[in-house]
Structure 1
Amino acid sequence: MNIIETFYSAFGRGDAQTMEACYHPEAEFTDEVFVGLKGKEVPAMWKMLIERSKGELEITYSHVQANEQGGSADWVAVYIFSATGRRVINRIHAEFEFKDGKIYRHTDSFDLHKWAAQAIGFKGKLLGGTAFFRKKVQKTAREGLNRYISRNFSA
């Protein structure tokens, strides 16, 4: 099993510890919501998302390609969005760069407008494609992650 399959298999089991072990200590992550995460922020984000899902998270992955330098995969997350209680089916494409046999750069791409329509409903459908909405979601996500990290990983 390659590092990408190990990562998504662990994600599907809610195993944040194994997911963290897949990342290089200097890893970077970006997607439509979480932008420019570095180092310990990356596994903390996954741990937070797993905890928020309260066991209602279904992960499937396909089209995994990998070599020593990097790889890609398509994956689907089905979950209940905690802020609204709405069911989301998010289809994501992931690109990876490896360093020292671990995930060094991880970029996920998905349709934020489609996500917003599912997660938020009418307002998300109406505003989900705007730059204003994207910035607001990114700011809210970053603040939530910062609070999570300060509560769970501070000395």
Structure 2
Amino acid sequence: MHPNLQTLTRFYAAFAALDADAMGSCYSLDATFDDPAFSLKAQHEIAGMWHMLCNAARGHGKQDWRLDVSNLHADDHTGHAHWEAHYVFSANKRPVHNIVEADFTFTPEGLIASHRDRFDFWRWSRQALGMGGWVLGWAPFFNKQVRVQTRAALDRFLAQNPRN
């Protein structure tokens, strides 16, 4: 198995187990992460995001969490995964099924240098946010507002949990 594919396999096994420490260890110190909700720089921020999200998922009980991963592949420079998360959104206890395409680049040492997750934000917002997501989830300003809110939540989490 290619070393970068081993990194992705380790990452998604940790994600399925909600092991944020193991997930964070897959990233280089200067890694970047981007998805419709977050835009992060540095392993510290990325690991903090995974800690925050894993804590929220564990808070509802592992019985409400499932991760399905497929189409994992990687070469010397890039990688890809398709993943689907089933969870309860912590803010309002609504069930969510998020479908994600993930693209990666790697360092020569086999760590994740960049990670970009793409998903249908409107589909996600309809599930997670209910009527507000249904009415506004398609609008770029709404997505931007969610990014502002998730950044503030992450900053609070990092301030309260300095080890992450």
TM-score range, shorter chain: over 0.9
Displacement, 1:58?
Answer: 1.3
Residue of structure 2 in register with 1:137 after alignment: 146
Q: Which runs of 5+ in 2 are unaligned?
A: none
Query: How high is the TM-score relative to the length of structure 1?
Result: 0.95
Residue of structure 1 in register with 2:131 after alignment: 122
Residue of structure 2 in register with 1:9 after alignment: 13
Matches within 5 A, 1:11-90: 11-53=15-57, 54=59, 55=62, 56-90=64-98
Displacement, 1:57?
Answer: 2.2
Task: Provide, for residues 46-100 of structure 1, a one-character-per-residue CA deviation record: whole Å limited to 9, x for no partner.
Answer: 1110001123321110001101212000001111111111000000000000002
Determine the C-alpha separation between the residues in 1 that align with 2:39 and 2:139: 17
Identity across the alignment (%): 36
Match of 1:8, as an amino acid? Y
Match of 2:25, SS?
helix
Task: Provide, for residues 88-130 of structure 1, a one-character-per-residue CA deviation record: whole Å limited to 9, x for no partner.
Answer: 0000000000002100100000000000000011111110000
Matches within 5 A, 1:75-114: 75-99=83-107, 100-114=109-123
Determine the C-alpha separation between the residues in 2 that align with 1:47 and 1:111: 23
Determine the C-alpha separation between the residues in 2 that align with 1:22 and 1:31: 18
Q: Is the 8 A contact 2:38 2:147 kept in 1?
A: yes
Determine the C-alpha separation between the residues in 1 that align with 2:17 and 2:143: 30
Query: How high is the TM-score relative to the length of structure 2?
Result: 0.90
Over the aligned positions, Cα root-mean-square deviation in angstroms equals 1.2
Determine the C-alpha separation between the residues in 1 that align with 2:105 and 2:32: 10
Runs of 4 or more off by more than 6 Å in structure 1? none
Match of 1:90, SS?
strand
- For these two proteins, the number of residue pairs brought into alignment is 154
